[in-house]
Every structure is written in structure tokens, then in C-alpha cells.
Amino acid sequence: MKALLVNPAFPRTFWSLDRVVTMLNKGSTHPPLGLLTVAALLPDDWELKLIDLSFQRISDADWQDCDLVLVTGMMVQHRGIVRTVREAAGRGKTVVVGGSYAYHFPEEILKAGADVVVRGEGEITVPRLVENLRRGRHERIIEADGTADLTESPAPRYDLIDLNRYADMSVQFSRGCPFSCEFCDVTLMLGKKVRTKTPEQVLEELESLYRMGWRRAVFFVDDNFLGSPAKTRVLLEALIPWVEARRYPFDFYTQASLNLARHEHLMDLMLRAGFYAVFLGVETTDEESLRRSGKTQNLVVHADEACEKINRAGFQIIAGCILGFDHERPGADERLIAFAMRQHIPEMFVTLLQAGPGTALWNRLQQEGRLLPLDEGALQDYSNQTGLCNFTTTRPLPEIVEEFIHLYEVLYDPVFFLQRAFRHFDRMASPKIKKPFRPPSRHEVKAVLVSFFRQGIVRPSRFRFWMVVLRGLIRFPERMPGFISTCIKGEHFFDYRETIATALRRRLQEMRFTSK
């Protein structure tokens, strides 16, 4: 069988970094790891082609040359998913759809023209799909009965993509999360039991990337890299000699909870393995909101103390935060701005709270009669910074939205951003490893020059820019590549705050018009 695997494009988001991606001459930030894993689960005698619609297009020849179309994507990609399904169905192709959007809305996908929806992990559902196709059966929804044994998961088919079209690569070590945050759908889809690959599997995947010539950042996509601290330690102890033998070919980053600060030994191992950044689920500085949302793990450790400890150890922090919790006190924007100032965190990823289908939050709000219709506009903006809360909030929604807009206006003011970035890097301990110098590519040099021109000559903040760059060369010369990279990402954030303000105010006006 000839199968076309399609990754729909993402809209512009906080994570898209589209201006940076363009400067680096890349097509996207990360490859579609889910599709690459699905490809590895398909029969060896199938002919596979992967199209990433972030920067590629499906030609007439591609459509004509396939029997089966496999599409996956997250909620934020729903418009591209539906568009692809409709076109594939219109061309008479057998269409199979998976991913989180299909998981939550299987009937909508079937109405769009899909033949089959798969719900659950590919290690379980893909073999059933293949068997159905061989037997000519038409099971419309294939649902995983249980969770996958990741020790049996194959290495992703990185050979199906052009590595040079991506800014970073991705690997996965674990699935599942032991916590019970009311607003999160990770445990709904992947369970609370943390399952992991073996260190040998992970090293095999990294070896594949290494042999293909990859020498840049690698993102461990785990929802919580410390879901099982004991297994994480075993992985790191195997990873350290591997990277040492290859002279540290990759820069790793991942996601974790604030309790990382309580695992000093693991932080030390991560730094020795080449981890340089971590996304932390801070969510809010309001203890009552943490308690009511089930984010109780953040009550065990103080956010300020944890972030300071993690940052001082040598990690760049990206802080994930949310506005719109029930019983949230007015002034949530000012409290998060003060937190960012105290902890000098340059990258603050903040969203408005949105209830995900099937989550504990969704079920509670549904019982309370507070869920709003998830229309086309709401779906397009779901899990994006341009989406409103999809439920009746406990304080006026316009008040929350204006705080949210103000938060981004202040956080990504160029002067305030540069000030936090400098102090963030200045507070870090000296690196635990010494990596060999690797000359930047011509596109990386171009990105630096363009960013320096915009921030050092064009922007009114140019004097502050040159001041922090010169001070950084004196204070932390060994960390200047990371600091410059953060400054370059600022180019996206400075512009994106305007996108947020325009989109949210338009959505508020539409909501008021509809209600009238």
C-alpha cells in the first residue's frame, strides 16, 4: 500500500516562532514526531511519504500516487485537519485520522469525510488499523484498550523528513503523568501511570539523528520528564557517557514540574548530559487557584524558591502560566509580572484557561452549566493565546482579557524583556560541561545580524540592547550563545503581543454581538 502521511500546518502561536524560523531558513520548529512514530509502526513493504504542510504542499502527483491518507494533529491544528480530510475524501482516498483533535471529536472528523478515526496510542491502534485494512473491514472508530508498552515502541522514521528544514529535533522518553491537574488532558489520553522507553531505545534514536548529521537542539517532548524520577536517573546515567564520547553533539531541553528543584542530583545529571532549558508548569502564583485546580504539587514547593534554584543551577526557564482560574483575584496580571521580575524569567508562556473536552474541568463546568458552545472560532483558537475562555468565568471575562493583553504588553516590552534575559543568564552557575566550538551556519549568522540590526539600531531600546550585550560578554561569555538566541526569539514575542491584543478584542466584540 502507498500511504501519504500529512501534518497540517499550525496557526501563528507563541510557539510558532515564525519570524525566527524564517530568519533561520527553516520550515518549522519541530518535526511531527507522532507521524514519524506511526510510520515506524506501519508494514515494511508499504511505500510512505510524509508531507508537513507547515512548509510543504501536496501536489497532484502526491494525491494520485497514494492509496491511503493518514492525518494527525492537535486541537490548534483542527482547521488544517478538516481541510485535508475533505480534500482527501473528495479525491476518493481512504482517510484515517488520529491525534488529540480526533481523540476529542471523532464524530466531527467522520462528518468531514474520514473513513476511520483512531483514539489512543499508535502502538495499540495502528496494528488493528493495518489488520482491518488487510481484511477489508470498516471499523469506523478504533479505540485503544489500555496503554502502550513503550519498551516495544519502534524508533521514529526520521529518514522520512529533511532534518535541515527543522529548527530542532524531538524524541520521547516517557508518557503519562502522575499528577491530577483539573485542566489537563494528558492523563485522560495517556493515563496517570508513567511508562518509559529503555535507555537503550532512547540512545538508539539519538544515534540515528547523530549519524544523519544532526548537531543542534533536541527536545524531549515528555509532558513531565520527571514523571518517574528513578527511571529518569537511569536514562541520564546512560546518556552522559554517550554524549561525552561524541563530544556533546546535542543541546537538550524538556518539560518538568516545579518539584525538579527538589531533585538536586537529577539536575546535576541533566546539566552534565547537556540539558540547558526546561519548561516549568508554574500556572499561577495564587495558592487558592492551585488548590482548586488540583495542581497541588505546586503547593509543596514555593514557585519563587524553585525557579531561583533551578535557574541558579544552570537552566534557562520557560514558565507556563494561566489566567482565568475560578476565584482568581483581580490583578493576576500584575502578580505574574512581579513574579517574572523577581525571577528574571524572559520567556513567560501565558494562556487564558480553556476547558479541554473530557477533562475534570470540562466535566465540572458542564455539570455547573458554565460551558460555552465550542464553535468554529473557539476551536480555531483553542489552546492558543488568541482564544477566549470557553466557559462562564467567575469574574468578568473582559476584565480577565484586558489583564491578559496588558500582561503580554508588559512582559514583551523590549526593554523589560532584555533586562530579564540578562539577569536570568547572569544568575546561572558556570556550565558543568565544556562543549567544542561549532561554527554557526550562514543562516544563523544572518539571524544574528538581522536581530542585532532591529534591536541594536531600529528599535528605541537600542541603547539598552547594546548595554546588556556588552555586559553579557564580560559577565557570562560562555553563555552568550544562549543569551543571543533568547534575544532573537524576542523578535517573535515583540510582534506577537499585538496579534494577541487584536484577536482577543475582536473575539470579545463577536461574543457581545452574538449574545445580543
Determine how β-strand 2-7 pairs with β-strand 47-52. Answer: parallel
What pLDDT does 385 receive? 83
How many alpha carbons fall within 13 Å on the CB side of residue 204? 12
- Residue 17, phi then psi, degrees to nearest 5: 45, 40
Q: How many residues does the chain have?
A: 516
Residue 369's region, left for phi above 0, alpha for psi from -120 to 50, else beta, is left
Determine how β-strand 195-196 pairs with β-strand 217-220. Answer: unpaired
Q: Distances in Å between the alpha carbon of 271 and those of 164, 320, 475?
A: 26, 21, 20
| Cα distance from N-terminal residue to C-terminal residue, the chain | 53
- Distance, in Å, from the CA atom of 374 to the CA atom of 321, rounded to the nearest integer, reads 23
What pLDDT does 379 receive? 63
Q: Which three cell numbers stand for residue 148?
A: 502502550
What pLDDT does 40 receive? 98
Q: Nearest-CA neighbor of 346 among 493, 188, 186, 454?
A: 493
- Consecutive 10-residue runs of the chain (516 residues): their mean pLDDT? 96 85 94 98 98 97 97 91 97 96 93 96 97 90 95 98 97 94 92 96 98 97 96 98 97 96 97 98 93 90 96 98 94 97 97 92 96 70 80 95 97 97 97 91 94 95 96 96 95 93 90 59
DSSP 425: H
- Distance, in Å, from the CA atom of 24 to the CA atom of 489, rounded to the nearest integer, reads 11
Neighbours of 130 (CB within 10 A): 15
Q: Does the CA dihedral 298-299-301-307 come out positive or negative? A: positive
Determine how β-strand 94-98 pairs with β-strand 68-72. Answer: parallel
8 Å CB contact between 489 and 401: no
8 Å CB contact between 352 and 404: yes
For the entire predicted model, the pTM comes to 0.95
CA angle 313-315-317, nearest 5°? 130
How many alpha carbons fall within 13 Å on the CB side of residue 100? 19
Residue by residue, DSSP assigns 158-177 as: GGGS-GGGBSSEEE--EE--
Q: Which three cell numbers stand for residue 339?
A: 513574579
8 Å CB contact between 497 and 375: no
Q: Which three cell numbers stand for residue 139?
A: 471499523
Q: Which three cell numbers stand for residue 23?
A: 530568519
Q: Which three cell numbers stand for residue 101?
A: 483533535
DSSP 395: S
What pLDDT does 468 receive? 97
User: Quick one: angle between helices 462-475 and 480-515, nearest 10?
Assistant: 140
CA angle 258-260-262, nearest 5°? 105
Contacts with 491 (C-beta within 8 Å, 6 or more apart), sequence order: 19, 20, 23, 451, 454, 455
What pLDDT does 516 receive? 44
